[in-house]
């Protein structure tokens, strides 16, 4: 960090207050190619977030995480807590995507898709509509309180709080059916936990996007710090072309920079004004930079007006800057081993996750041996073991099953002939007594023997296919 | 308060807690001001020739969060227990919360059980929902000893046959569930006679159920069975009022064969079923009793 940040040398013995006051950042509105991308992602993510809970599927909410009943509905899928491995898979996919994007082009997540960025973008749009752009906002803040200021500031707060509450409401709508939640909203008849989460999530949205903004990225976000650790010299970052820009300086539109002994940077300061974290990109890569590319958009406008080529600030790599690489060379370097490894692992995990979901059984079985007694002698010297089978129906229709045991000669159960019905998305315990004849027991010998329980789905409707699940257990012949 | 052997410990804990909070605030104030040592936004510390420590102050909102946590702690300690033996103004206890939650759960269950209370065992047996509840109660509370299918094992009676050691009515089953049951067979060797006599009696008992036995020994033991008949009846069919089991069937709760019977006669048995009344509500016992009774009946709807 250059020493130029020092505030000049006054008295040598000054004392500083260690808890720095928050300096408000008045980010200037920006439009352009990258801002367009960000707004596209704001629309995409928010339509998804606010819209999904309203979607119906199979006469129920398409996406509903029913924590009370421990069932998680995602379109056709009904997931049990036992399916949490899929969440693990999803998180690994998310992590590897982050690694991949960051290695290729820096903090893409931060700049375009992170909820903090997305909600800040929405909240800043509201702020701009009610208080005006940067200069107007600074004037308003400096002005004494009056009807105009009160109305604008109050209106902004009102809209912010509304968006926050709506976000909280939508969030809770993923866990409680949103349509009944909407009915409850009309009378404010939420349950205590619904109240808590709507207000908590709403307040977090309002506080983070309205007030905290870049403070979240600078001081709270762990991603922000470790993403920088995943950069290398071939990672695309937002860079200022110092060789082309310096020496910077103001000049007339008609002036020729060569004769004026100036670089292409006109030192207009717009790149600093649009920066949501309040840094000067011309000082090089800084940890505060969230990679939003607002400075690229605004600088390109200035370059156009000056009739200089675009890209004084651009996506480039450190190697690209130093070695003056062109686009195709940069692209070739993007396919370096690190990126290829991330990409192939990502593809493998996505494929594995997809295959596993597609081949998922429409029911699950757990076998639990009775613990009280290992085995018992019944009529005519037959040996009996008792088990409990839990049948979990992961479809939304009543399903019928038949249970058989195999692995020992003539192994029979007391429910060989019974058809077991399990209600939609329900789980049911079924006690099963399995027995073998004394001759079989004698032939098998004392101790524990592996057996299999085969649970077969009985085809009731043409939609169903015959499926069976085999679960292993043991059969004990007593000493 | 019984947690502390001396009331002084309560004061010690309270004092430490309060001092800890005061210390947190003091630290915040002490650390708030620093003399600037160098004019280049560093602390003036240099390591390894060129490694300088920058002055990166904490954001002020972070300081306020710190203050808020201290205030929160003070408010919490006023309401809830934490300051030594001071119970807090809300008088909250974990036992109290447990009991409140239990009461709430009972209230919630009331509506589920309300319609079952007025039904008898037979009606309950016809009701799949009631039997579903009964099965879950059985698996959670009874299956550990009696087996998931209720057929028991050595020493734990089968509930799925019709051989009851008592009346075998719904009321009887409910009473046993709620209050438990102790089955006593006294040691009878002295009354029966020599060890040879005991063996003969054992063979006679085996003969009652038509099991494999030595008919000569059984014949010799027949007279000695008179002592057993006091409870088990002259015909060996048992006496439900005394809880004496039927010896003429092939149900052997404590083991089959000469040795098992000899052991029982010489040593006796004290077999206990613990009372479940404190764990289950009367309504639950009502439904569970019907489920147990239903296990042994032809009308059982296992696996509906």
**Could you tell me the residue ranges of all domains in chain A?**
17-360, 363-477
Other Cβ atoms within 10 Å of A246 Cβ, number: 14
Q: What is the pLDDT of residues B181-240, one digit of tens each?
A: 999 999 998 888 898 999 999 999 999 988 888 899 999 999 899 999 999 999 999 888
Q: Which residues pair with A110 in a beta bridge?
A: none
Residue A357 · residue A351 · CB < 8 Å: no
Contacts of A45 (CB under 8 A, 6+ apart): A113, A115, A118
Task: Name which of A132, A124, A119, A126 is nearest A164 in CA terms.
Answer: A119
Q: What is the ipTM of this complex?
A: 0.72
Task: Please answer yes or no on whether A22 and B61 come within 8 Å at the CB atom.
Answer: yes
Backbone angles phi, psi at B278, to 5 degrees: -80, -20
Task: Please answer yes or no on whether A22 and B59 come within 8 Å at the CB atom.
Answer: yes
Q: Does B114 touch chain A (CB under 8 A)?
A: no
CA torsion, ordered B148, B149, B153, B155, to nearest 10 deg: 80
How far is the C-alpha of B39 from the C-alpha of B304, rounded, in Å? 85
Q: Which residues of chain B are within 8 Å of residue A207 when distances are taken between CB atoms?
A: none
Task: Please answer yes or no on whether A19 and B302 come within 8 Å at the CB atom.
Answer: no
Nearest CB partner across the interface for B36, out of A15, A372, A386 = A15
Task: Please answer yes or no on whether A376 and B152 come within 8 Å at the CB atom.
Answer: yes
Averaged pLDDT for residues B104-111? 89
The alpha-helical segments, DSSP class H, found in B127-274 are 128-141, 143-146, 170-179, 189-192, 195-208, 215-224, 226-232, 258-267
Q: Does A310 touch chain B (CB under 8 A)?
A: no
Q: Does B68 touch chain A (CB under 8 A)?
A: no
Q: What are the b/e assignments for A354-378, b being 16+ CB within 10 Å?
A: eeeeeeeebbbbebebbebbbbbbe
What are B47's two structure tokens? 């390591």
Question: Which residue pairs from B278-282 have beta carbons closer than 8 angstroms and sit at least 24 positions apart in sequence?
Answer: B279/B141, B280/B137, B280/B141, B280/B177, B280/B178, B281/B106, B281/B109, B281/B113, B282/B178
The alpha-helical segments, DSSP class H, found in A307-380 are 318-323, 327-334, 337-358
Q: Does B24 touch chain A (CB under 8 A)?
A: no
Instruction: Tally A–B CB contacts below 8 A.
Output: 112
Q: Which residues of chain B are within 8 Å of residue A15 when distances are taken between CB atoms?
A: 33-36
Percent of chain B at pLDDT > 90 equals 50
pLDDT at B3: 60
Count Cβ atoms within 10 A of the Cβ of residue A131 and give its class: 0-12 exposed, 13-18 middle, 19 or more buried. Answer: buried
CA torsion, ordered B247, B249, B255, B261, to nearest 10 deg: 30
Percent of chain B at pLDDT > 70 equals 95
Structural fold of domain A363-477: Immunoglobulin-like (2.60.40)
How far is the C-alpha of B222 from the C-alpha of B213, rounded, in Å? 13
Q: Does B140 touch chain A (CB under 8 A)?
A: no
Task: Name which of A316, A318, A422 is nearest A364 in CA terms.
Answer: A422
Q: Does A122 touch chain B (CB under 8 A)?
A: no
Q: Which residues pair with A57 in a beta bridge?
A: A60
Q: Does A153 touch chain B (CB under 8 A)?
A: no
Task: Please answer yes or no on whether B144 and A372 come within 8 Å at the CB atom.
Answer: yes
How far is the C-alpha of A279 from the C-alpha of A282, rounded, in Å? 9
pTM of the model: 0.82
The answer on pLDDT for B35 being more than 90 is no
A residues 1-30 lying closer than 8 A (beta carbon) to B: 1, 3, 5-9, 12-22
Q: What is the pLDDT of residues B1-33, one digit of tens each?
A: 456 678 888 899 999 999 999 999 999 999 888
Q: Does B152 touch chain A (CB under 8 A)?
A: yes
How far is the C-alpha of B138 from the C-alpha of B150, rounded, in Å? 8
Instruction: Identify the weakest region by mean pLDDT among A52-56, A407-411, B172-176, B253-257.
Output: B253-257
How far is the C-alpha of A435 from the C-alpha of A439, rounded, in Å? 12
Q: Does B129 touch chain A (CB under 8 A)?
A: no
The answer on pLDDT for B304 being more than 90 is no
Nearest CB partner across the interface for A430, out of B32, B154, B303 = B303
Q: Which residues of chain A are within 8 Å of residue B152 when distances are taken between CB atoms?
A: 373, 376
Number of residues assigned to chain A: 479
Task: Please answer yes or no on whether A18 and B40 come within 8 Å at the CB atom.
Answer: no
Residues of chain A with pLDDT under 70: 1-13
Question: Which residue pairs from A88-95 have beta carbons closer than 8 angstroms and sit at least 24 positions apart in sequence?
Answer: A89/A349, A89/A352, A89/A353, A89/A356, A90/A353, A92/A349, A93/A346, A93/A349, A93/A350, A93/A353
Nearest CB partner across the interface for A372, out of B41, B55, B147 = B147
pLDDT at A229: 81
Task: Please answer yes or no on whether B147 and A3 come within 8 Å at the CB atom.
Answer: no
pLDDT at A265: 94
Indicate the SS3 state at residue A406: strand
* Host H or E run for residue B44: strand B42-47
Instruction: Identify the weakest region by mean pLDDT among A98-112, B7-21, B101-115, B151-165.
Output: B151-165
Nearest CA in chain A to B132: A428
CA A188 vs. chain centroid, Å, equals: 30
Task: Please answer yes or no on whether A372 and B153 come within 8 Å at the CB atom.
Answer: yes
Q: Which residues of chain A are within 8 Å of residue B139 when distances are taken between CB atoms?
A: 388, 429, 431
Residue A313 · residue A238 · CB < 8 Å: yes
Backbone angles phi, psi at A436, to 5 degrees: -130, 160
């Amino acid at each position: 960090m250059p020493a130029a940040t020092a505030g000049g040398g006054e008295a040598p013995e000054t004392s500083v207050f260690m808890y720095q006051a928050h300096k408000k950042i008045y980010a200037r509105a920006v439009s352009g190619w990258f801002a367009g991308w960000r707004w596209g992602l704001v629309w995409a993510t928010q339509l998804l977030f606010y819209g999904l809970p309203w979607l119906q599927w199979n006469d129920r909410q398409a996406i509903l995480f029913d924590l009370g009943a421990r069932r998680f509905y995602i379109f056709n899928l009904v997931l049990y807590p036992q399916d949490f491995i899929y969440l693990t898979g999803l998180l690994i996919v998310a992590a590897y995507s982050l690694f991949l994007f960051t290695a290729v082009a820096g903090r893409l997540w931060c700049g375009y898709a992170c909820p903090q960025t997305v909600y800040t973008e929405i909240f800043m749009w509201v702020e701009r509509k009610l208080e005006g752009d940067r200069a107007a906002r600074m004037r308003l803040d400096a002005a004494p309180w009056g009807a105009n200021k009160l109305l604008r500031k109050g209106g902004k707060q009102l809209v912010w709080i509304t968006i926050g509450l709506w976000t909280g409401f939508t969030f809770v709508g993923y866990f409680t059916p949103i349509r009944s939640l909407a009915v409850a909203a009309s009378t404010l008849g939420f349950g205590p936990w619904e109240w808590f989460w709507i207000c908590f999530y709403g307040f977090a949205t309002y506080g983070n996007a309205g007030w905290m903004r870049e403070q979240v990225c600078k001081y709270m976000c762990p991603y922000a710090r470790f993403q920088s650790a995943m950069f290398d010299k071939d990672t695309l970052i937002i860079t200022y072309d110092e060789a082309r820009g310096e020496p910077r300086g103001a000049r007339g539109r008609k002036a020729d920079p060569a004769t004026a002994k100036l670089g292409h940077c006109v030192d207009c300061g717009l790149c600093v004004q649009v920066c949501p974290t309040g840094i000067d990109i011309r000082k090089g890569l800084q940890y505060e930079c969230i990679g939003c590319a607002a400075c690229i958009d605004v600088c390109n406008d200035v370059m156009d007006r000056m009739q200089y080529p675009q890209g004084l600030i651009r996506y480039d790599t450190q190697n690209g800057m130093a070695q003056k690489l062109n686009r195709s060379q940069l692209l070739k370097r993007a396919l370096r081993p690190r990126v290829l490894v991330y990409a192939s692992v990502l593809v493998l995990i996505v494929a594995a996750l997809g295959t596993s979901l597609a081949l998922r059984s429409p029911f699950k079985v757990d076998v639990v041996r009775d613990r009280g007694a290992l085995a018992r002698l019944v009529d005519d010297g037959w040996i009996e073991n008792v088990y409990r089978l839990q049948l979990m129906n992961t479809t939304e229709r009543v399903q019928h099953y038949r249970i058989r045991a195999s692995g020992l000669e003539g192994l029979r159960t007391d429910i060989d002939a019974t058809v077991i019905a399990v209600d939609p998305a329900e789980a049911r315990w079924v006690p099963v007594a399995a027995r073998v004849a004394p001759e079989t027991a004698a032939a098998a010998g004392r101790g524990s023997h592996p057996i299999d329980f085969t649970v077969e789905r009985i085809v009731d409707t043409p939609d169903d296919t015959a499926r069976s699940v085999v679960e292993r257990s043991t059969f004990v012949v007593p000493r | 308060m019984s947690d502390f052997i001396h009331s002084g410990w309560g004061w010690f804990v309270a004092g430490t807690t309060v001092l800890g909070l005061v210390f947190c605030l003091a630290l915040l104030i002490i650390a708030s001001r620093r003399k600037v040592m160098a004019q280049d936004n560093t602390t003036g510390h240099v390591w390894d020739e060129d490694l300088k420590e920058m002055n990166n102050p904490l954001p002020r909102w972070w300081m306020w969060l710190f203050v808020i946590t201290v205030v929160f702690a003070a408010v919490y300690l006023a309401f809830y227990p934490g300051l030594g033996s001071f119970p807090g103004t809300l008088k909250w206890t974990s036992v109290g919360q447990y009991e409140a939650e239990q009461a709430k759960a009972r209230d919630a269950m009331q509506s589920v059980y309300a319609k079952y209370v007025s039904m008898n065992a037979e009606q309950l047996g016809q009701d799949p929902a009631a039997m579903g509840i009964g099965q879950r109660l059985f698996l959670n509370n009874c299956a550990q000893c009696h087996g998931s299918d209720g057929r028991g094992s050595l020493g734990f009676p089968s509930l799925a046959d019709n051989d009851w050691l008592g009346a075998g009515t719904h009321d009887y089953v409910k009473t046993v569930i709620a209050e438990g049951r102790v089955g006593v067979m006294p040691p009878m060797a002295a009354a029966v006679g020599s060890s040879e006599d005991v063996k003969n009696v054992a063979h006679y008992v085996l003969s009652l159920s038509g099991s494999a036995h030595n008919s000569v020994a059984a014949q010799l033991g027949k007279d000695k069975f008179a002592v057993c008949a006091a409870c088990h009846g002259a015909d060996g069919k048992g006496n439900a009022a005394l809880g004496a089991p039927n010896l003429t069937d092939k149900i052997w709760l404590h083991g089959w064969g000469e040795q098992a019977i000899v052991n029982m006669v010489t040593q006796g048995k004290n077999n206990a079923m613990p009372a479940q009344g404190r764990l289950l509500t009367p309504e639950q016992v009502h439904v569970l009793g019907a489920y147990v009774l239903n296990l042994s009946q032809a009308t059982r709807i296992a696996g509906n």
